[in-house]
Amino acid sequence: MKIFVCLKEVPSLEEALRLKEQHGGEVTLLSIGPSRTEKVLRKGLAMGADRAVLVVDEDRATNSPFSLATILATLLKQESFDLVLAGTQSDDAGYGQTAIMLAGLLDIPHASLVMKIEADPSKGTLRFLHEMESGRFQWLRLPLPALLGIQAGSSPIRYVSLKGIMQAKKKEIRRTNIGELGVDLSGTPSLEIQRLHLPKIERKAVVFEGDTETTVDQLVRQLHEEERAL
């Protein structure tokens, strides 16, 4: 199975490596970012990925989900793949859009919040468990190629071994860029961040002051006499 892992996501890399161990194949890391991203990719290679592709964008000029998805879609169309694994939401912008948009642009099926994957490469399908609203889960089957968004915490993440670090030095990181890929981003819908600010905090709570004895006393009295909740 040819698996691509998107966006420096460690939980999705772990799932990719598990699938490779069971079914063979190749795991490729995929990222867009400045040259220093190579460090992160090198760590992923040390964990066991076979190769990496970095779309170099030194000043992170491209940060809208639609543009990122367009770049990744262009790149993946030039490669051959069975499965794309991504995360759910980035820790910084937290849009939670790029991976699913990518599936849309590639016109392949997708699912998100995936907890467990069982592949059946001979039939060209995947069976997986994913999380739904309100503590419900669902087993689904999708044909390959497909994209899955992995829920963090699904499997324990492996450690990087010394042997892995040594091997990673010899592995290929392909560097490319938006121009070389021939991506045209003009007219792509984008989100422009005007400014970042601290959320307005409305501190609602009456916080009782004093030693533990005093605060607990005050709380119980308040709940009993004022709120009539006890």
Partner 1 sequence: MFQKVLVLIDHSEGRVPQVSLECCSLARRLTSKTNGKVNAVVLGSSLDGIRAAVEHLPVDRISFADDPLLEKYTPGAYVEALEQLITEDGPDVVLMGHTYQNMDLSPRLAARIRRALVTDCVAIREDEDPPVFVHPMFHGKLNADIRVRSPKPWLVTIQSGAFGGRTDERGTPEIEARTVHIDSDAIHREFLEEVSVTADRVDLTKAEIIVGVGRGVRNEENLSLIKDLASALGAEIGASRPIVDNGWLERDRQIGSSGQTVSPKLYFAIGISGAIQHIVGIRNSGCIVAINSDPNAPIFNVAAYGIVGDMAKVVPLLTEKIRQLKTG
Site for partner 1 in 166-205 (CB under 8 A): 189-199, 201-205
Residue from 104, 161, 180, 184 that binds partner 1 (CB under 8 A)?
104
Residue from 112, 117, 119, 168 that binds partner 1 (CB under 8 A)?
112
Residue from 135, 156, 179, 182 that binds partner 1 (CB under 8 A)?
135
Q: Interface mask (CB under 8 A) for partner 1, residues 4-43, using x and -?
A: ----------------------------------------
Nearer to partner 1, 102 or 178 (CB): 102
Site for partner 1 in 47-76 (CB under 8 A): 64-66, 69
Contact flag: residue 157 with partner 1 (CB under 8 A): no
**CB burial string 27-53: b at 16+ within 10 A, e below:** bbbbbbbeeebbebbbbbbbbbbbebb
Nearer to partner 1, 162 or 201 (CB): 201
Phi/psi zone of residue 35: left (φ > 0), alpha (ψ -120 to 50 degrees), beta? alpha
Contact flag: residue 134 with partner 1 (CB under 8 A): yes
The token pair that represents 130 in the structure block: 């994913």
Nearer to partner 1, 59 or 92 (CB): 92
Question: Which residue matches tokens 């490779």?
Answer: 20
Q: Which stretch binds partner 1 (CB under 8 A): 16-24, 48-56, 141-149, 157-165?
A: 141-149
Edge-to-edge, what's the strand order for the sheet holding 51-56?
125-131, 110-120, 146-150, 83-86, 2-6, 26-33, 51-56, 173-177
Helix (H, G, I), strand (E, B), or coil: what is residue 46?
helix
CB of 148 to partner 1, least distance (A): 11
CB of 122 to partner 1, least distance (A): 17
* Beta-bridge partners for 150: 114
Give the pairing type, strands 125-131 and 110-120.
antiparallel
Contact flag: residue 140 with partner 1 (CB under 8 A): yes
Q: Which stretch binds partner 1 (CB under 8 A): 19-27, 42-50, 132-140, 174-182?
A: 132-140
Contact flag: residue 121 with partner 1 (CB under 8 A): no
Contact flag: residue 119 with partner 1 (CB under 8 A): no
Q: Which of 81, 51, 91 is nearest to 148 (CA)?
A: 81
Helices 98-106 and 65-78 pack at an angle, to 10 degrees, of 40
